[in-house]
Structure 1
Amino acid sequence: MAKANMTIGRAAKAAGVRIATIRFYERRGLIAQPRKPESGYRTYPDETVSRIRFIRQAQEIGFSLAEVAELLSLRADPRADCGDVRARAIGKRAEVQAKLDQLTQIRAALDELIASCPGGGNVRACTILDAMQREPAGAETATSSTTFRSR
Structure 2
Amino acid sequence: MTFLKIGELARRSGLSVETLRYYERRGLIPPPDRLPSGYRVYPDNTLKRLSFIKRCKNLGFTLDETLELLQLQHHPEQESAVVKQRVDERVEEIDRKIADLQRIQQALKGLSRLCDGKGPAADCPILAFLEQSEPTGTGAAGSEDET
TM-score class normalised by the smaller sequence: 0.7 to 0.9
**Helix, strand or coil for the counterpart of 2:42?**
coil
Q: Tell me the amino acid that sits aligned with residue 107 of structure 1.
A: Q
Structure 2: distance between partners of 1:84 and 1:23: 29
Compute the TM-score of the two structures, normalised by the length of structure 1. Answer: 0.86
Among 110, 123, 126, which residue is 1:125 paired with? 123
Identity rate, percent: 36
Deviations 1:103-134 (A, max 9, x none): 11111011000111121122222111111122
2:67 maps to 69
1:143 maps to 142
Q: Which structure features the higher share of strand residues?
A: 2
Alpha-carbon shift at residue 32 of structure 1 (Å): 1.3
Among 124, 132, 135, which residue is 1:134 paired with? 132
Q: Tell me the amino acid that sits aligned with residue 50 of structure 1.
A: K
Among 14, 17, 23, which residue is 2:15 paired with? 17
Structure 1: distance between partners of 2:32 and 2:22: 14
Q: Which structure features the higher share of helix residues?
A: 2
Deviations 1:65-118 (A, max 9, x none): 011011111111232121111111011011011111111111101100011112
> Which runs of no fewer than 5 residues in structure 2 stay unpaired?
none
Deviations 1:8-31 (A, max 9, x none): 111112222111111110111111
> Which runs of no fewer than 5 residues in structure 1 stay unpaired?
147-151
Instruction: Report the RMSD for the aligned CA atoms in angstroms.
Output: 2.1
**Helix, strand or coil for the counterpart of 1:62?**
coil
Alpha-carbon shift at residue 145 of structure 1 (Å): 5.6
The alpha-carbon distance between structure 1 residues 75 and 24, as it changes in their structure 2 partners (threshold 3 A), is same
- Could you list the runs of 4 or more consecutive aligned residues of structure 1 that deviate by over 6 angstroms after TM superposition? none
36-45 vs 56-65, which moves further: 36-45
CA contact (8 A) 1:5 1:46 kept: yes
Structure 2: distance between partners of 1:19 and 1:141: 42
1:94 maps to 92
